[in-house]
């Protein structure tokens, strides 16, 4: 291959131009600003779909913020020194079956006699 000939220079120009077109096509497809050959930017048009996506993103961010607040509260509950669920479960295992106090509500299953 002759690197000094005009065919090589034309091939480099063609590959560069093709890469520029592919780059702009990908950017336009994903909603990024387009760049022309002099470095200027052109903003994409604001469509109804993009407005809906912005609203949905805002709603999802609000939801994530509220869930993070809930997680903070749950972490405080779980890491609190007074939280002794594990100790309570282990204490129940140590008690004999007869000594356990049944905490269920007793059912009144007496039948009434017909008068």
How many Cβ atoms from other residues are within 10 Å of residue 20's Cβ?
Answer: 13
Asked whether residue 29 falls in the same domain as residue 70, the answer is no
- pLDDT of 75 reads 84
For the chain, the three-class secondary structure string (H helix, E strand, C coil) is CCCCCHHHHHHHHHHHHHHHHHHHHHHHHCCCCEECCCCCEECCCCCHHHHHHHHHHHHHHHHHHHHHHHHHHHHHHHHCCCCCHHHHHHHHHHCCHHHCCCCCCCCCCCCCCCC
**Domain tally for the chain?**
2
Dist CA 37 CA 23 (whole Å): 12
Q: Does this model's pTM top 0.75?
A: no
Task: Say what the pLDDT of residue 13 is.
Answer: 92
Does 102 reside within a domain?
A: no
Mean pLDDT for each consecutive 10-residue tract of the chain (115 residues)? 78 92 85 71 73 92 93 81 68 64 58 55
Instruction: Domain of residue 14: give its range.
Output: 7-44
- Assess whether 34 and 59 both reside in one domain: no
Q: Is residue 27 included in any domain, yes or no?
A: yes
Residue 50 and residue 90 in one domain? yes
Within-domain flag for 104: no
In a domain, 113, yes or no: no
Q: Within this chain, do residues 40 and 50 fall inside the same structural domain, yes or no? A: no
């Amino acid at each position: 291959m002759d690197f000094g000939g005009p065919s090589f220079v034309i091939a480099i120009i063609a590959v560069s131009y093709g890469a520029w077109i592919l780059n702009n096509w990908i950017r336009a497809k994903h909603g990024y600003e387009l760049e022309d050959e002099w470095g200027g930017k052109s903003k994409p048009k604001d469509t109804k779909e993009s407005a809906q996506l912005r609203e949905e993103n805002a709603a999802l961010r609000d939801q994530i913020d509220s869930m993070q607040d809930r997680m903070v509260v749950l972490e405080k509950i779980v890491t609190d020194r007074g939280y002794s669920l594990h100790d309570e479960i282990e204490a129940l295992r140590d008690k004999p079956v007869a000594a356990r106090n049944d905490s269920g509500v007793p059912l009144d299953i007496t039948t009434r006699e017909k008068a």
